[in-house]
Amino acid sequence: MSVVVDAEAAELVLANCLEKDEFNLFFRKLLGSGSIMAPVSVWRPRRKQMAPFFGITNANRSQDSLLKHSDNLVKHLESMADTEPFSMFDIFYPYAFDTIMELILGLTLNSHEEEDTRVLKAVPDCFNSVAYFLFQPYLQFEIIYSRLPIWAKFLNDKQNIQRLIAKVMASKQKLYDGKNNNVDANISLKSLVDFLYSSPDDKKFSIDEIREELFVMLFGSTILPCVSLCFTCMMLAKYPDVQEKLIRELDEESSRYEKGLTKSRPHENKYLEAVIKETFRLYPSVPTVSRKIDKDIEMPSGTVLPAGAACFISIWGIHRNPKYWGPDADSFRPERFFDSPPKHPATLMPFSYKSRGCIGMHFGMLSLKVILASLLKEYRFLPNTTTDAPVRPLYDIILKDADNYMIRLKRRDRIQQ
């Protein structure tokens, strides 16, 4: 097994080795063979088929839906502002969930008002169960894990998600049955499930393939944007100067946009992008990705990674490597993206890199920008305790905050009074 913290070496591995390593087999066993875990022979045609849906043009078309969910979140937060600290994850997550449900399943939900929270809770609970099994290797033997209460809970959560998917698929099946569709002319379809059902016959996914893809897609895409949003808000609370500068820039952008002086919307602001990138650099929601080495590869250092070995790319390590980011690599400084950021594209790869990187990258990035711009229009983030309290990152499949993303919120109009 090898661990890579060098961008050039990471590029070599990610460009040449597409197969996931043995570590992922356990995920596959629990969660099926959707794209994230699939062997290359299964993954390649599916990725090719789904790529247009996740392209930048289609992601931009989802702006209105993102704005709608952000506005709902801004309203919900009214009652949380100027009160006690609260966990951002608990409040933001239902909105992140609704956004993804609309994109993937075409469902319009209001999860924070629903009484039945079984599916909403099932996704993070499934995540926690998988992490629990994964980090205790003796639990990866079926004879042991299948006897534990957490296994029954995991199966129940999984079934709740699968039941919802089955319901949506049954309605789409009726809608698209026998229709002569053409996906290439129709990539602006709003949801992934519509996109998959309306594929031309020669490219059609089977029912089992659609089911498998929708399941891992929901599993992989609801938590990560939410966690990334929480970390960015924590950084803004911790660095009030950065927050003030960002608010100023967003206000100026809004006023230029409203007066018709510019076409770029506030969320297209470059400083906002730099703040998100700097948060991703220090707290990448996926801190490690792994691959199986297909054939012997010589690294730039001369070391040869042997065929068959597992290779872990430490995104965390590359993002904090002083060779690329300088002596202040551990400091939060969004301005570094305007000074002289490193040129190599693999020095910043929160969505991984090369052909097996995140398919939802454009959507993930856009959703963060839209929600942050909406939140900062109304609120300022304040730290739970003091600005110098350290962030305590916790590595559990994804990167989390050990203190549950606590924050305080102030309404901007109250501060100015």
Under 8 Å between Cβ of 366 and 57: no
Rg (CA), the chain: 22
Out of 97, 312, 351, 405, point to the residue binding ligand HEM (CB under 6 A). 351
Per CB under 6 A, the segment of 113-121, 332-340, 360-368, 404-412 that binds ligand HEM is: 360-368
Task: Rule CB under 6 A: say whether 58 interacts with ligand HEM.
Answer: no
Task: Rule CB under 6 A: say whether 359 interacts with ligand HEM.
Answer: yes
Binding mask 16-35 for ligand HEM (x = CB under 6 A): -------------------x
CB nearer to ligand HEM: give 164 or 217.
217
Under 8 Å between Cβ of 285 and 226: no
Per CB under 6 A, the segment of 72-80, 299-307, 355-363, 380-388 that binds ligand HEM is: 355-363
CB nearer to ligand HEM: give 133 or 280.
280
Q: What angle do CA 40, 42, 43 make, to 5 degrees?
A: 60
Per CB under 6 A, the segment of 55-63, 116-124, 196-204, 345-353 that binds ligand HEM is: 345-353
Binding mask 100-119 for ligand HEM (x = CB under 6 A): ---x----------------
- Using CA atoms of 209, 210, 215, 220 in order, give the dihedral in degrees to the nearest 10: 90
- Token output for 180: 């002569």
Task: Rule CB under 6 A: say whether 89 interacts with ligand HEM.
Answer: no
- Closest residue to ligand HEM: CB criterion: 360
CB nearer to ligand HEM: give 94 or 220.
220
Handedness of CA 164, 167, 169, 175 (dihedral sign): negative
- Token output for 373: 């711009």
Per CB under 6 A, the segment of 165-173, 203-211, 218-226, 400-408 that binds ligand HEM is: 218-226
Smallest gap, in angstroms, from Cβ of residue 112 to ligand HEM?
A: 20
Angle at which helices 63-77 and 361-378 cross, to 10°: 40
Under 8 Å between Cβ of 338 and 30: no
CB nearer to ligand HEM: give 18 or 81.
18
Closest by CA position to 105, among listed 129, 130, 123: 123
Beta bridge partners of 399: 395
Beta bridge partners of 381: 409
Q: Rounded distance, CA 174 to CA 316, Å? A: 46
CB nearer to ligand HEM: give 276 or 406.
276
Smallest gap, in angstroms, from Cβ of residue 261 to ligand HEM?
A: 31
Smallest gap, in angstroms, from Cβ of residue 99 to ligand HEM?
A: 9
Written as one string, the DSSP assignment of 163-176 is: HHHHHHHHHHHHHH
Residue 21 backbone phi and psi in degrees, to 5: -85, 180
CB nearer to ligand HEM: give 219 or 379.
219
Out of 2, 26, 42, 47, point to the residue binding ligand HEM (CB under 6 A). 47
Per CB under 6 A, the segment of 214-222, 267-275, 292-300, 372-380 that binds ligand HEM is: 214-222
What b-and-e string marks burial along 378-387, b requiring 16 or more CB atoms within 10 Å of the CB?
bbbbbbbeee
Out of 94, 266, 364, 383, point to the residue binding ligand HEM (CB under 6 A). 364
- Token output for 126: 């499934």
Residues 65-84 that bind ligand HEM (CB under 6 A): none
Out of 172, 238, 356, 408, point to the residue binding ligand HEM (CB under 6 A). 356
Q: Rounded distance, CA 34 to CA 129, Å? A: 19
Strands 406-411 and 379-383: antiparallel
User: What are the angstrom distances between the C-alpha of 318 and each of 6, 7, 284, 312, 350?
Assistant: 6, 6, 11, 12, 10
Under 8 Å between Cβ of 290 and 21: yes
Out of 110, 171, 357, 395, point to the residue binding ligand HEM (CB under 6 A). 357
Smallest gap, in angstroms, from Cβ of residue 401 to ligand HEM?
A: 15
Residues near ligand HEM, by CB under 6 A: 35-36, 43, 47, 103, 217, 220-221, 224-225, 228, 285-286, 289, 350-352, 356-360, 363-364
